[in-house]
Copies of this chain bind each other. A is one copy, B any other.
């Protein structure tokens, strides 16, 4: 099945580096990472779906409701209800579009931005502490890999 031995690559043994194996380890470690960081979200007052949707609006700028639903991989009725609930909590607001009266544009409020950033800061702080205890070489590897991974994820 595997063609790992053909034309041995330039350097350090390629046996552990088949795309299949890397995919597996990457997948498992990403799941594990986010699972642990999710513990920090309890005290944010934001549910998972709300934090995720709010994040898209805060970092991606104002969005139509449909675009937001697509980004969150959720159907329009689900996002419609989510947006209404979050609007009533003052996290975001819905505004009409000047060109097309059908669309609803969603924008984060100052409060929404503040709350999301606080939740995000808690997650990142926890991860940062763990990274601080790594030797600089390992940190460099993670830095390169993270940038790479971001690019790979966009092409998925």
Residues on A lying within 8 angstroms of B by beta carbon are 9-12, 14, 16-17, 19-39, 73, 123-124, 126-132, 134, 136, 138-150, 152-156
Q: Write 11 A-B pairs (CB below 8 A) sorted by A numbering.
A: A12-B140, A14-B136, A19-B128, A19-B131, A23-B131, A26-B33, A27-B124, A29-B153, A32-B154, A33-B152, A33-B156
| Given A34-B34, A131-B152, 12 additional A-B pairs, CB 8 A | A11-B140, A14-B140, A16-B143, A19-B128, A25-B146, A26-B127, A27-B123, A28-B150, A29-B153, A30-B30, A30-B34, A134-B148
A14–B144 alpha-carbon span in the complex (Å): 12
Copies in the complex: 2
Q: How far is the CB of A12 from chain B (nearest CB, A)?
A: 7
Q: A149 contacts which of B20, B33, B39, B136 (Cβ < 8 Å)? A: B33
Q: Which residues of B contact A14 (CB under 8 A)?
A: 136, 140
A152–B73 alpha-carbon span in the complex (Å): 29
Q: Which residues of B contact A131 (CB under 8 A)?
A: 19, 22-23, 26, 152
The answer to whether B136 touches A142 (Cβ under 8 A) is no
